[in-house]
Structure 1
Amino acid sequence: MARRTVTTAAVAFTATATLLLTACGGGGDDSSKGIKGADTGSGTPSASASKADSDAPDLSLPDDLHLVFDFAKPSDSQHAAALDTATDYIRALKHGIVKQNPDDPAYQYYSVGAAAKYAKSQIQAWVDGGWTPTGTDKYYDAETAKVGSTGVLVTFCRNQAKSFSKKIKTGKTHYTKESLDSYQKFSILMRPLSDSAQAWKAQQIEVQGRVKECQG
Structure 2
Amino acid sequence: MRAPLALAATCVAVSAALALSACGGSKKSDDKIKDQGTDVSTSAPAPTTTSAAPSPTAPGVKRPVITLPSDAKDVFEDEHTGDPVKDAVLADNAGYVLATDEGIFKGKTTENLGFYATEKGLANAITYVQGVHAKGLVWTGTVRFFDRKVTMEGTGDASVVYCSDESKAFPKHVKTGKVDNVATTSESYVLYSTHAKKNAQGVWQTTDIVSDRGSKQCQP
Q: TM-score band, normalised by the shorter chain?
A: 0.7 to 0.9
1:48 to 2:54 alignment: no
Matches of 1:68 and 1:192, distance apart in 2 = 24
Question: 1:163: how far off?
Answer: 0.6
* Alignment: residue pair count: 180
TM-score normalised to structure 1 length? 0.76
Which consecutive unaligned segments of at least 5 residues does structure 1 have? Answer: 1-16, 33-46
Match of 1:211 in 2: 215
Matches of 1:109 and 1:18, distance apart in 2 = 19
Q: Any idea what SS the aligned residue of 2:98 has?
A: helix
Matches of 1:29 and 1:136, distance apart in 2 = 20
Match of 1:9 in 2: none
Q: Is the 8 A contact 2:11 2:128 kept in 1?
A: no
Matches of 2:120 and 2:161, distance apart in 1 = 17
Residues 143 and 96 (structure 1), Cα distance of their counterparts in 2 relative to 1, 3 Å cut? same
**Identity between Structure 1 and Structure 2 (%):** 23
Match of 1:105 in 2: 111
Q: Is the 8 A contact 1:22 1:160 kept in 2?
A: no
Output the amino acid matched with 2:111.
P
**Which residue of the other structure, out of 64, 76, 98, is the alignment partner of 2:71?**
64
Q: Which 10-residue stretch deviates more, 103-112 or 70-79?
A: 70-79
Output the amino acid matched with 1:121.
T
Q: Deviations over 1:31-68 (max 9, x none)?
A: 99xxxxxxxxxxxxxx8325x60xx3341100000111
Residues 104 and 18 (structure 1), Cα distance of their counterparts in 2 relative to 1, 3 Å cut? closer
Q: Any idea what SS the aligned residue of 1:89 has?
A: helix
Greater relative contact order, per chain length (Cα 8 Å cut-off, separation 6+): 1
Match of 1:201 in 2: 205
Matches of 2:111 and 2:131, distance apart in 1 = 17
TM-score normalised to structure 2 length? 0.74
Match of 2:169 in 1: 163
Matches of 2:116 and 2:15, distance apart in 1 = 21
Structure 1 segments of 4 or more deviating over 3 A? 24-32
Q: Is the 8 A contact 1:144 1:153 kept in 2?
A: yes
Q: Is the 8 A contact 1:73 1:80 kept in 2?
A: yes
Q: Which 10-residue stretch deviates more, 171-180 or 143-152?
A: 143-152
Match of 1:175 in 2: 181
Q: Any idea what SS the aligned residue of 2:167 has?
A: coil
Match of 2:12 in 1: 19
Cα RMSD after superposing both structures: 2.4
